[in-house]
């Protein structure tokens, strides 16, 4: 289905058509985006899961699917800026607007200010969406607000609604992040050695801007099950850091045979490097002929577990993938399906199970040689891929996650045998989820030494990998490395 396409702004075209004379129904791509945004804001859905389903239901592909995707993700990313614009244009706080109407106005603002859709087309379609969602009165409001939004360019709106000071409030609007996230990321940049107090504001602005650029689709060819050449032959490009990575610039990764069959998967390169680093750390050998035993303590939904399983098979090790949720355990099982078949054929032990990771140290003390503790976290390192997370997370989440992260790391250490290694990882650079957790857990554990994670992470990379911080822990950054903001601490249990 066609719709007006983005164009370079020329003389502004204002919509002067009365709402009652406009299109009665919005086009399918915009309606699809609205449905996804409603599911995200009202039902707590995740856009990366909801959007593909919505596109399939609407039978959208090609340019129409691309339009709906950019409209969905772009609206979510820049919601903070657009809310400030809408509040000014409507002369009321956005909290006073109906939720469905607010979604429509955010979409309209993104079309005009972020996609360069002609103002009259964005307004006409927004009015149609509002009429269907909330009636004729809402359509009139949307018409008036969209007309006012179209009166200024993006640059003019930024100048009008963005405070000049303090810096956190300025960046919160201009780069569309909650103020608390802006402040936390500034502290993280300094705390991990990626910035000094003198240059932190400039570094922070680059990081926040990187969160607003759509991430490329990173693929992993799981070794022994697929190779990178197969992905390249299917149209992907070589990855930047991981020897098993490829980048898919466009198209559906599920259309690739290797991905559809589970021999390859969508996985950020930073995530790949963490698994590779853990697999490469030397450990004290077991008795002659005894295979190493590996544990993925928090394996769901299965990305790192899938690569770890392939690496374990290649290195002759056994792996247990543990997950606390039955639903997520099934996702892990599906992700590992080809590896499970190969393990069975080669007499290797590859187990996917459901269990509370906090109890593993007590139930299986000193059993494993390598343990990955990929702890639940706020996900502030993956805001490129999950833009709604920045609005959904709250500072109070840290209070609940902190004790869980510490208990899981402690259990992982207890489950590791002397001479073995533990990797603590999060997809968040927040200091309360990273260095503070490791510091607190190790306070009374003299039998655990901290390794320089930067060395093993850099050794795993196929190109020179710098900017990982002051050590001994390593922190990846979207604006420096083009990966998610992954944190890694490597610990060895002394013999």
303 a known binding residue? yes
Q: What's the CA gap between 493 and 326, in Å, rounded?
A: 31
374 a known binding residue? yes
Say how many C-beta atoms besides its own lie within 10 A of residue 151's C-beta: 12
Class of residue 155 by CB neighbours under 10 A (exposed 0-12, middle 13-18, buried 19+): exposed
482 a known binding residue? no
304 a known binding residue? yes
**Is-contact 53 85, C-beta < 8 A?**
no
301 a known binding residue? yes
377 a known binding residue? no
168 a known binding residue? no
108 a known binding residue? no
CA distances from 364 to 68, 70, 376, 459 (A): 49, 47, 21, 31
440 a known binding residue? no
Say how many C-beta atoms besides its own lie within 10 A of residue 300's C-beta: 24
Say how many C-beta atoms besides its own lie within 10 A of residue 5's C-beta: 12
Q: Which residues contact 400 (CB under 8 A, 6 or more apart)?
A: none
475 bridge partner residues: 487
- DSSP conformational letter for 263: S
Q: What's the CA gap between 490 and 473, in Å, rounded?
A: 7
The separation between the first and the last C-alpha atoms of the chain, rounded to the nearest angstrom, is: 66
Q: Which residues contact 450 (CB under 8 A, 6 or more apart)?
A: 438, 442, 472, 473, 489, 490, 491
Q: Which residues are part of the catalytic machinery?
A: 427
**Is-contact 231 244, C-beta < 8 A?**
no
Tell me the DSSP string of 13-36: ------GGGS-SS--HHHHHHHHH
493 a known binding residue? no
Annotated binding residues for S-adenosyl-L-methionine, written as ranges, equal 298-304, 323, 356, 374
Annotated binding residues, written as ranges, equal 298-304, 323, 356, 374
């Amino acid at each position: 289905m066609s719709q007006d396409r983005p164009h370079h702004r020329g003389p502004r075209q204002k919509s002067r058509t009365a709402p009652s004379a406009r299109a009665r129904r919005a086009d399918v791509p915009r309606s699809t985006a609205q449905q996804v945004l409603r599911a995200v804001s009202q039902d707590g859905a995740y856009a990366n899961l909801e959007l593909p389903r919505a596109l399939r239901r609407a039978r959208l592909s090609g340019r129409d699917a691309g339009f709906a995707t950019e409209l969905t993700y772009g609206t979510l990313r820049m919601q903070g800026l657009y809310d400030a614009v809408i509040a000014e244009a409507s002369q009321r706080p956005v909290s006073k607007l109906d939720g469905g109407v607010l979604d429509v106005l955010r979409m309209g603002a993104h079309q005009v200010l972020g996609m360069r859709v002609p103002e009259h087309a964005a307004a006409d379609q927004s009015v149609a969406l509002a009429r269907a969602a909330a009636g004729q009165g809402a359509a009139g409001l949307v018409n008036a607000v969209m007309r006012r939004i179209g009166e200024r360019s993006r640059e003019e709106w930024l100048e009008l609604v963005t405070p000049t000071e303090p810096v956190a409030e300025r960046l919160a609007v201009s780069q569309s992040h909650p103020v608390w996230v802006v402040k936390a990321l500034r502290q993280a940049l300094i705390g991990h050695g990626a910035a000094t107090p003198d240059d932190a504001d400039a570094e922070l602005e680059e990081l926040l801007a990187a969160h607003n650029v759509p991430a490329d689709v990173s693929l992993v060819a799981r070794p022994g099950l697929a190779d990178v050449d197969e992905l390249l032959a299917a149209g992907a490009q070589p990855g930047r850091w991981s020897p098993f990575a490829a980048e898919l610039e466009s198209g559906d990764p599920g259309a690739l045979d290797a991905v559809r069959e589970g021999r390859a998967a969508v996985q950020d390169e930073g995530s790949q490097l963490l698994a590779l680093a853990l697999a490469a750390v030397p450990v004290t050998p077991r008795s002659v002929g005894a295979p190493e035993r590996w544990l993925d303590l928090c394996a769901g939904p299965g990305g790192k577990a899938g690569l770890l399983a392939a690496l374990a098979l290649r290195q002759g090790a056994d792996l247990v993938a543990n997950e606390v949720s039955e639903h997520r355990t099934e996702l892990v099982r599906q992700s590992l399906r080809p590896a499970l078949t190969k393990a069975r054929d080669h007499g290797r032990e590859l187990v996917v199970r459901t269990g509370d990771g906090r109890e593993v140290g007590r139930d299986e003390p000193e059993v494993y040689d390598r343990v990955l503790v990929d702890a639940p976290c706020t996900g502030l390192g993956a805001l490129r891929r999950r833009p709604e997370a920045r609005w959904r997370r709250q500072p109070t989440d840290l209070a609940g996650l902190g004790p869980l992260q510490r208990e899981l790391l402690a259990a992982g250490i207890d489950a590791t045998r002397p001479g073995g290694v533990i990797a603590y990882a999060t997809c968040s650079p927040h200091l309360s989820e990273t260095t503070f957790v490791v510091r607190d857990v190790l306070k009374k554990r003299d039998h655990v030494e901290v390794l320089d994670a930067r060395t093993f992470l850099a050794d795993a990379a196929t190109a020179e990998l710098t900017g990982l911080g002051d050590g001994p822990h390593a922190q990846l950054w979207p604006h420096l490395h083009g990966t998610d903001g992954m944190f890694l601490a490597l610990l060895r249990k002394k013999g």
